[in-house]
Homo-oligomer: A and B are copies of this chain.
């Protein structure tokens, strides 16, 4: 991509969306109903990225890509529809025979046969010297996406979770990778703390978009492990703070629970309130408005007491129409009428 093309692209961006995985992907499908693809850039968490079997895996980027391409498995919410699992099945033979202490041949992180091609392509391109930004754009183009997806950084950042209790072969106090916590332990072990290894040194992507876009949306993703790494990158929080009034967040917590994943328990385990009020407290420094679900309407005053405007609407995106209406309401809250 030439500098000219990048600038043209950047100036076309009118909405920047901070994105994690499933919730963000659904939000982006809604945003697409009210804005043209070329005006949207999703800046996607990569702190969940992992290398398994030598392959570079970017779960949030892939979930967003597959969802926008209409290729996501609708039941699981991750991976491709119509997927087969032949390679994983064949790995079992090796996992059973590997020496003690080895984790090769691990099958706890399920990779479908079609999905493997994405990781194989990404790995080959990174080995050729391409940046994750370039590869991500290529993968998005291969799926015919018009929307721009930007990994939050091209540098390695890795979410690490310190366990508060023993789980499987891990003892309390062990620090493990995010995917081990999330997938291997099904995020059902309490966390004592979370950190983002490498985040201080990482060069963020898209801070200019966060500054110049007409509005910024914080998608309903896990505030700690999806939005957290994005905000921890240098300049991101400061940029959002400087334009806070046109930054709108959507609470991923509805009626005290996460729709998906461990956001509620993580908030609580790390000493925060697992509610829209807890989310408001976390986002208040960078976000002028928090959008919450009807189910939490009684907490409107408590949310506003944290210093953010509170908008109540349907946030559970069970269909595209709901997602589109949610997007429209978010933009309106940022002072942008697209109705």
Contacts and interface: CB of A to CB of B under 8 A. Distances in A.
Interface of A: 51-56, 84, 86-91, 93-99, 102-106, 113-118, 120-121, 123-128, 130, 134, 138-139, 141-143
A98 B142 CA distance: 8
Nearest to A138: B97
Contacts of A125: 98, 102, 104
A291 to B, nearest CB: 36
Interface centre among A52, A102, A104, A127 (most CB of B within 10 A): A104
B94 A139 contact: yes
Count copies of this chain in the complex: 2
Contact of A91 (B96, B104, B117): B117
A116 B87 CA distance: 6
A287 to B, nearest CB: 36
B94 A142 contact: yes
Nearest to A140: B97
Secondary structure class of chain A's binding surface, majority of residues: helix
A104 B87 contact: no
B114 A90 contact: yes
Contacts of A138: 94, 97-99
A52 B97 contact: no
A107 to B, nearest CB: 9
B90 A113 contact: yes
Contacts of A88: 117
A117 B94 contact: yes
Given A113-B113, A142-B96, A105 B124 contact: yes
Interface centre among A84, A102, A141 (most CB of B within 10 A): A102
Nearest to A142: B97
A121 B142 contact: no
Given A86-B114, A87-B116, A125-B104, A142 B55 contact: no
Contacts of A103: 124, 128
B121 A104 contact: yes
A130 B104 CA distance: 11
A114 B102 contact: no
B124 A104 contact: yes
A53 B142 contact: no
A123 B84 contact: no
A87 B99 contact: no
Nearest to A96: B142
